Structure 1
């Protein structure tokens, strides 16, 4: 499951018994060698889809980690690209992976330590993206999270992220993810600090409802590169939530 440069089982165990912030600080140096990093085909598919709807001026990668989504933003944003994450360790690896250079071409790049539930920005972004981070938020936190995203977007700005279809009960992945979530609930019931990471808690119906309540119009775009399920539905979509021009800033 992991490369020789990835974390050992012992290192993963230490991470899992830490808080989310501390756990990712510990994992950061080896994170890009784990399956937790968003796969390149997903990043590339989202980049192609956004290129068809852009360009954008100012972009934000929410919960940017080591910066996988920053590469997507660099391709579709003209003026500036900002990554925000709660883990100083992940940000440090991201900066090292893409060191600052004099701006000869492409957008300005910045890295900011901050909590997605209390973003340190005004309404200055045209595009917010996020990859693989939503499992770190409990369902009850979604209204506040989406209100924060709404508050940093300009009217007409977009919030985009990939949303894979859930595995059917006939798939081994369904039971693997169900088992993982159950193990995390037991861990958080008996151990402090909690480590919030649930793979099955981010459901399309709930997400769409809370985005609309936060002041967004919601559209779904199939990512055709991943094909369709037997029932004809896409295996993966890009969700695009557009801040309504007449909606007041949230916060």
Structure 2
């Protein structure tokens, strides 16, 4: 399905009836042959927007999957790149295909096993796996692993116009997922309409992350001429970074091979 080598309808159904972690373990060998992988043009636009805001020493791809964002960090970071995900299968796929040294860590994004070690954290296409009630805690964890002045970046798309095909498609998908989760366990948390920008920006501010929007015009424009996508770049205030002690990987984190030595606190 989707492209040669992609998953079949049956495989997607089995994935959708599993937990998030187990579902992605099952999908991992064929994930890069699906539309769910972040397109290269989004990755290129993100890298281009972030480059002038650097430099960056260490970078973290949060909820990295098979490592699409890892490639962005490898272009920008000079002292090391980490990919973190809960799915062992996705990490294994990323490790098998990665070019260059990467540290792969299996851990929960809501319990990041690092101190303030990064100048840049990116995430692509993962926020639908977090309920709105979890978002403040997620952003606080990100804030804690950033050095003062470090940046948290992720692309966002303009919301579909009411009544458009995309509007009805996302509404239908989220409704189906809510019904599925009401009657079936384990839940598979994945929604498209639970990340409104106004609320997201407020949650970033609450986590001592100051957000700015950077238009991504290379990803197209809407009929009114405004860009279809933007990059949210949230900077950790240096004042908030004071007093946060460094730490190594915490209990429960599983590590891939460390190609450049152990990750040390950077600030």
Name the TM-score, length of structure 1 as normaliser: 0.94
Inter-CA distance 250–184: structure 2 relative to 1 (3 Å threshold) = farther
Shift, 1:226, TM fit: 2.0
SS in 1 for 2:102: strand
Shift, 1:99, TM fit: 6.0
1:180 is aligned to 2:176? no
Alignment size in residue pairs = 244
SS in 2 for 1:26: helix
Q: Tell me how far apart the structure 2 counterparts of residues 29 and 163 of structure 1 sit (CA, whole Å).
A: 27
Q: Tell me how far apart the structure 2 counterparts of residues 227 and 112 of structure 1 sit (CA, whole Å).
A: 34
CA deviations on 1:202-234 (whole Å, 9 max, x unpaired) are 110110000000101110000010233233432
Q: Tell me how far apart the structure 1 counterparts of residues 17 and 173 of structure 2 sit (CA, whole Å).
A: 15
| Matching residue of 2:72 | 72
Q: Tell me how far apart the structure 1 counterparts of residues 49 and 168 of structure 2 sit (CA, whole Å).
A: 31
SS in 2 for 1:144: helix
CA deviations on 1:47-103 (whole Å, 9 max, x unpaired) are 111112122100000000000000000000001000000000000000000166xxx
| Matching residue of 2:156 | 163
| Matching residue of 2:43 | 43
| Matching residue of 1:234 | 227
Shift, 1:250, TM fit: 7.7
Q: Tell me how far apart the structure 2 counterparts of residues 88 and 235 of structure 1 sit (CA, whole Å).
A: 33
Q: Tell me how far apart the structure 2 counterparts of residues 112 and 244 of structure 1 sit (CA, whole Å).
A: 26
Inter-CA distance 250–144: structure 2 relative to 1 (3 Å threshold) = farther
Pairing partner for 1:191 from 184, 198, 204: 184
Pairing partner for 1:216 from 209, 222, 230: 209
Given that 2:136 and 2:207 are in contact with CA atoms closer than 8 Å, whether structure 1 keeps it comes out as yes
Name the TM-score, length of structure 2 as normaliser: 0.88
Pairing partner for 2:142 from 146, 149, 161: 149
**Taking CA–CA contacts closer than 8 Å with sequence separation of 6 or more, which of the two structures ends up with the larger relative contact order?**
2
Shift, 1:43, TM fit: 0.5
Inter-CA distance 250–201: structure 2 relative to 1 (3 Å threshold) = farther
Structure 2, unaligned stretches of length 5 or more? Answer: 246-267
SS in 2 for 1:74: helix
